[in-house]
Homo-oligomer: A and B are copies of this chain.
Amino acid sequence: MTPRIRQYGPVVHVIDITDPADTRLDDFRDLNSSDRRPDLPEGKGLVIAEGVLVAQRLLASRFDPIALLGVDRRLEELADDLDGVDVPFYRTTADVMAEVVGFHLNRGVLAAARRPAPLELADVLEHSQTVAVLEGVNDHENLGSMFRNAAGLGVDAVVFGKGCADPLYRRAVRVSMGHVLRVPFAHVTKWPHDLEALRERGFQLISLTPNPEAVTLAEAMTGEKVALLLGAEGPGLTEHAMRATDIRARIPMAPGTDSLNVATAAAMAFYERVRTGR
């Protein structure tokens, strides 16, 4: 069957590849170590989307794709999304893909994009009502889950403070189901000083803490605009960061248990926000 995408205007270029050593596939090579790319700006790898759903989200995002690699079936599934997308689609077999990327990839398609210029804090705050602000969240899986939950529960943006991992690492992109490509994020330069920028825009700044003496999340969250500060599992937010906020709030928990996973705690804060109608 001839894919529909071959029949229309300026479109993806389907290029059949049979040799796994083909240098045109270098951007997809050894994906397990592709998050470091000394040849690229800041030494960071390309943004890699795995699977049809995440590739679709990449194609619909602010990220510019540079190429796709996949099997014929996935090319067909992506036909509509690739309409008007002027990049190569390297078509090959699952075996060649496995040899190139370094492991068996059962999703059958990858899209690669360059990292765009970072968004400005002022821009991501502009139309936001609810933002998550992260400090020391250095686990890619937690970051990915947090973006997924943010998207599902209507959080408008994520702000990165000090010590966080890169949300565009491959694993974070995958765990987020592509939502790191959709939910806008920006980095704060002076931490926590630059939180003033949020206060000036009318955000209520709320620190999440396991401290049983803090008020509950439901009591604390009164602002029209809210910024929820979350720290890493274990250490939590630094005292320094908490002092820069308006109020400290806790999720009511059973005594004698561990703190919750940070992405789960975030989800509950996002839920509380949705529950109260934002």
Binding site for B on A (CB under 8 A): 145, 148-149, 151-154, 177, 179, 216, 218, 251-254, 257-261, 263-264, 267-268, 271-272, 274-275
Given known A-B contacts A216-B275, A218-B275, A275-B216, A260 and B267 have beta carbons under 8 A apart: yes
A151 touches B257 (CB 8 A): yes
Among B148, B218, B275, point to the contact of A261 (Cβ < 8 A): B148
A151 touches B254 (CB 8 A): yes
**Chain B residue with the shortest CB-CB distance to A151:** B257
B253 touches A153 (CB 8 A): yes
Given known A-B contacts A260-B267, A268-B267, A254 and B153 have beta carbons under 8 A apart: yes
**Most chain B CB atoms below 10 A, which of A145, A260, A263:** A260
* A262 CB, nearest partner CB in chain B, Å: 12
Given known A-B contacts A149-B264, A263-B264, A274 and B257 have beta carbons under 8 A apart: no
B261 touches A274 (CB 8 A): no
* A139 CB, nearest partner CB in chain B, Å: 14
Among B154, B218, B254, point to the contact of A154 (Cβ < 8 A): B254
Residues in chain B near residue A267, CB distance under 8 A: 260, 264, 267-268
* A65 CB, nearest partner CB in chain B, Å: 21
